[in-house]
Amino acid sequence: MEAYVALEGGHVVEARGRVSGSTRGELVFTTAYTGYEESLTDPSYEEQVLTFSYPLIGNYGVREERFESERVHPNAVVARELTDEVVEWLDEEDTPAVDHLDTRDLVTDIREGGAMKCGIAVGEDVTEQDALDELDACKGMSEHTEIGEQVSVDEHEHHEGDGGVDASVTLIDCGAKGSIVDSLNARGADVDVLPYDATVEDVESYDTDVLFISNGPGDPANFEPTIELVDHYVGEVPLAGICLGQQIVAEALGGTTAKMDFGHRGVNQPVMDTRTKQVVMTTQNHGYTVDEPGEKLNVTQFNVNDDTPEGLENDELDIITRQYHPEANPGPNDSLDFFDDVLGMTDSSQTAVPADD
């Protein structure tokens, strides 16, 4: 099949079509060389076009137990080479896919020019103009302020812990990866998952020892109900957050956030702790960052590459957040103890036993 990728600036890249369809979105890349199943099912990639910098995607098959959610989230997939098994999966998900193009060149363009909008057209009779038409439509789109509805649960879900700690975590789902729930359950905590626009009354229906704000796609400003919820509970219950969750907590406490040039996406981001000076490797997937944390939050970890905040804390208010993904999947397990620290803020922390992840 024919395939074309139209980039901002007017450049059109010809490729091999693997799954037909026309779509548009923000073109981003990940440097991860494993974990393509986890990346493709990560809700933080909602409405984006995901480019894999590693040349071969699919060389160890597709296994549902590795999925982070129930579906593929990127609007389209770009790779140097996709295996037939991955193509079959993407076809079942109606996700347009292309390969046989120079992804190194695309990644260089993104790094030099920043994340950019693109249009993609794949099919037997598509033309460059079809891809350019998709790009034009993408340029005309306003910022999607209701993206939370696309990635959040519709109603309450309860996930029973494996025993070991008598704690209940209320997870606000802004696009949560399944591994966050698994990591908390493995430490014995019960997890009640609520939609991103849950109200104070909704949260009060459950026994909440920790209010946990999940990862998710896009701009934290699109999650105003969650920001308001955090603002209400500051100082009332311990607060935790991952990725978008860190940004939401910062916004609620008077901080500011900003869009990054091309974000952090991959499994090799170095993060230093300001107290121990220890550097750990982390998994990340975000296009926004905390610009100023405000007066109530202390930066306890930062990215070695660009000094952006990777950890925020306030011991008096029982707040701990991370910009990266401590649950990994894919990625290194250097920071799994974050979940022990979260549960350590609960009244039952004396019974907590670190999980054997």
What are 122's strand-pairing partners? Answer: 3, 21
Q: Quick check: 226 pLDDT over 90?
A: yes
Active site residue 232: no
Q: Quick check: 78 pLDDT over 50?
A: yes
**Does 244 belong to an annotated binding site?**
yes
Q: Quick check: 202 pLDDT over 80?
A: yes
**Does 168 belong to an annotated binding site?**
no
Domain membership of residue 198 (yes or no) is yes
Annotated catalytic residue, options 2, 46, 68, 327: 327
Listed residues 139, 169, 204: the one ending a domain? 139
Residue 33 buriedness (CB in 10 A; 0-12 / 13-18 / 19+): middle
Q: Are residues 170 and 317 in the same domain?
A: yes
Annotated catalytic residue, options 73, 264, 286, 325: 325
Count up the domains in the chain and report the number.
2
Domain membership of residue 356 (yes or no) is no
Average pLDDT over residues 211-236: 97
The angle at the Cα of 242, spanning 237 to 243, to the nearest 5 degrees, equals 140
From the list 47, 40, 38, the residue with the least C-alpha distance to 72 is 40
Q: Are residues 131 and 166 in the same domain?
A: no
Question: Domain holding 242: CATH number?
Answer: 3.40.50.880
- pLDDT of 354 reads 46
- pLDDT of 164 reads 74
Calpha distance 134→140 (Å, rounded): 10
Q: How would you classify the pairing of strands 12-19 and 2-7? A: antiparallel
Calpha distance 294→255 (Å, rounded): 4
Cβ-based neighbours of 112, under 8 Å, separated by 6 or more: none
From the list 196, 200, 155, 207, the residue with the least C-alpha distance to 172 is 196
pTM to 2 decimals? 0.94
Listed residues 106, 139, 172: the one ending a domain? 139
Calpha distance 356→344 (Å, rounded): 16
Q: Are residues 214 and 153 in the same domain?
A: yes
Active site residue 325: yes
Per-position b or e across 157-188, b if 16+ CB within 10 A of its CB: eebebeebbbbbbbbbbbbbbbbbbbbbbbbb
- pLDDT of 123 reads 97
Q: Which of 24-33, 144-153, 256-265 has the lowest mean pLDDT?
A: 144-153
Q: Are residues 41 and 159 in the same domain?
A: no
**Does 247 belong to an annotated binding site?**
yes
Q: Are residues 326 and 275 in the same domain?
A: yes
Predicted confidence (pLDDT) per residue in 33-67, tens digit: 899 999 999 999 999 999 999 999 999 999 999 99
Average pLDDT over residues 178-207: 96
What are 97's strand-pairing partners? Answer: 19, 77
Average pLDDT over residues 239-268: 97
Average pLDDT over residues 215-219: 96
Residue with tokens 């073109």: 27
- pLDDT of 142 reads 55
- Contact between 132 and 24 under an 8 Å Cβ cutoff? The reply is no
Q: Are residues 128 and 159 in the same domain?
A: no
- Chain centroid to Cα 146, Å, comes to 16
pLDDT more than 70, % of the chain: 96
- pLDDT of 350 reads 39
Calpha distance 278→339 (Å, rounded): 18
Q: Quick check: 10 pLDDT over 90?
A: no
Q: How would you classify the pairing of strands 298-303 and 309-314? A: antiparallel
Q: What is the mean pLDDT of the chain?
A: 94
Q: Are residues 196 and 58 in the same domain?
A: no
**Does 287 belong to an annotated binding site?**
yes
DSSP-derived 3-state class of residue 50: strand
Domain membership of residue 357 (yes or no) is no
- pLDDT of 353 reads 41
Q: Are residues 86 and 229 in the same domain?
A: no
Range of the domain at 344: 147-351
Q: Quick check: 349 pLDDT over 60?
A: no
Residue 10 buriedness (CB in 10 A; 0-12 / 13-18 / 19+): exposed
Average pLDDT over residues 15-32: 96
Q: Are residues 172 and 122 in the same domain?
A: no
Calpha distance 314→240 (Å, rounded): 11
Residue 239 φ/ψ, nearest 5 degrees: -125, 140
Q: Are residues 91 and 159 in the same domain?
A: no
- pLDDT of 74 reads 98
Q: Residue 340 is encoded by which pair of tokens? A: 């022990």
pLDDT band at 357 (very low <50, low <70, confident <90, very high): low
Annotated catalytic residue, options 8, 68, 243, 251: 243
Residue 71 DSSP class: S
Active site residue 174: no
Q: Are residues 183 and 70 in the same domain?
A: no
Domain membership of residue 161 (yes or no) is yes
Predicted confidence (pLDDT) per residue in 128-164, tens digit: 999 999 999 987 665 667 899 999 999 999 999 998 7
- Contact between 312 and 246 under an 8 Å Cβ cutoff? The reply is yes
Q: Are residues 197 and 312 in the same domain?
A: yes
State the DSSP string of 278-331: -EEEEEEEEEEEEEE--SS-EEEEEETTT--EEEEEETTTTEEEESSBTT-SSS
- pLDDT of 239 reads 98
**Does 44 belong to an annotated binding site?**
yes
**Does 285 belong to an annotated binding site?**
yes
Question: Domain holding 17: CATH number?
Answer: 3.50.30.20
